Chain A
Amino acid sequence: MERYLNKGIKEVIDQFPVVENILNEYEIGCAPCTVGTCLLKDIVGIHNLPADKEQEMMTRIAKTIYPDKEIEIPKVEREIEETVAELKYSPPMKKLVDEHVLIKRWLALIPAVVENLDVESAQGRELILDGVEFIRYYADKYHHAKEEDVLFQYFDENLEILNVMYEDHKTGRNHVKAILGALERKDKTTVAEHLTAYGELLKDHIRKEDEILLPWMDRNLSDRQIGEIFAKFNETDEQIGYSPAKYEAFIDGLEKRFNQ
């Protein structure tokens, strides 16, 4: 069993597809992940299931892998044991989750933007450029910069879950480049494809952060580190030189336009 605990989740699922269903039943949604190199043991540890649920899930996975053997289930090590009382998001994590709300409002608008896509008129092109500006300066520079330049620096850079997050950010940036290139060529289909793909990517990415990554990080950071990260986030916001209010107004305007 130890051998499989130390394997990447995609490899385990490829070999034993039923494992994907078992993980899904415990709300561990690894299937849509684009990378899938997280080790099975890290996935189990990071989701912090109650001990009895973890034991039950691991028994089912073990029976799938070794149907004819009685397997002793090893306890998956956690750096921090379950706390007595559940913690809410710490203030810096709450800040990131709050910023996700505006990004999610944008993602919800993408299907309407795609449906009304116009790469020919100046007005139509301006809408796409405004959307790209929102992605670049709010979702990426204002938000992802806090994650990459501050928060992730408190963790081992070789952690698979961080690699997945970096990879998602990179894929998002590539979609933006592709959108701009296609807009230049007035290639409506490609703009639509990459904008839709960006929306799907970010929706899943934010869910992973809100539900798994940020709570896990909260459990592993000391009070000292939480205070430092909070102060550094505030410094980052001050140094960035523009207000997020502009982007809130952009989303408000789009919602009025498309949700009428």
Chain B
Amino acid sequence: MQKFEGCPGSRMFEFKERDENDTQEATGKIESQLRQWPIQLHLISPLAPYYQGADVLLTADCVAYALGDFHRQYMQGKSIAIACPKLDEGQDIYVEKIKGWFAEAKINTLTVLIMQVPCCTGLINLVQQASLASERKVPIKQVVVGVQGEILQEEWV
């Protein structure tokens, strides 16, 4: 494993090559669980029909690449939006859109998936800002994913 000091979000890792016998390979074509477009938080409308009363997944961009079973484990039956709390601009707009989910789309639950790197907690902060500013509350769950795809934490906020 190589690494350099500095921002933990940009720190370089090389994981050992996975032994093919180590992992259970899925057989056959894996169906996508995505049921909407667009998905980027700047591009979506919180009032889109697929958010009405939905269980929504707000996920940091990197999560889907780290989590091997992302579609089956987390996307099934959920509407989604993605964002990067470190690199994306205009995050005040993100807060307004999340508030729109709470108040207007009347979503049922919000699950926030983030990576373990510190910058990713910014996404949770955006959600909490939106929740504090909203009269209508919904259950919010936080899932923290390790850089090798392991679930480090899963709890209701």
C-alpha gap A227/B55 in the complex (Å): 8
Is A230's CB within 8 Å of the partner chain B?
A: yes
| Chain B interface bracket (under 10, 10 to 19, 20 to 34, 35 or more) | 10 to 19
A89 is an interface residue with CB less than 8 A from chain B? yes
A157 to chain B, nearest CB (A): 24
| A92 at the B interface (CB under 8 A) | yes
B139 touches A85 (CB 8 A): no
Chain B positions within 8 Å of A228 at CB level: 108
The secondary structure that dominates the B interface is strand
| CA distance in complex: A120, B154 (Å) | 56
- Which one, A85, A224, A234, contacts B108 given CB within 8 A? A224
Residues on A with beta carbons closer than 8 Å to the beta carbon of B107: 227
Asked whether A84 lies within 8 Å of B154 as measured between CB atoms, the reply is: yes
Tell me whether B55 and A224 are in contact (CB under 8 A): yes
Task: Assess whether B153 is interfacial by the CB under 8 Å rule.
Answer: yes
Contacts A84-B154, A85-B153, A227-B55: A90 and B139 contacting too (C-beta < 8 A)? Answer: yes
Identify which of A86, A91, A223 contacts B111 (C-beta below 8 A): A223
On whether A85 and B154 interact (CB within 8 A), knowing A92-B139, A224-B77, the answer reads yes
* Residues 142 to 156 of chain B near chain A (Cβ within 8 Å): 150-156
Residue of B nearest to A86 (CB): B155
Q: A227's contact among B109, B150, B152, B155, by CB below 8 Å, is which?
A: B109
Interface string of B40-64 (1 = CB under 8 A from A): 0000000000000001000000000
A-B contacts, 24 of them at CB < 8 A, read A83-B154, A84-B151, A85-B151, A85-B153, A85-B154, A87-B154, A87-B155, A89-B156, A91-B139, A94-B156, A223-B55, A223-B78, A223-B111, A223-B141, A224-B108, A224-B109, A226-B139, A227-B55, A227-B109, A227-B138, A227-B139, A230-B109, A231-B108, A231-B138
Residues of B within 8 A of A (CB): 55, 77-78, 107-109, 111, 137-141, 150-156
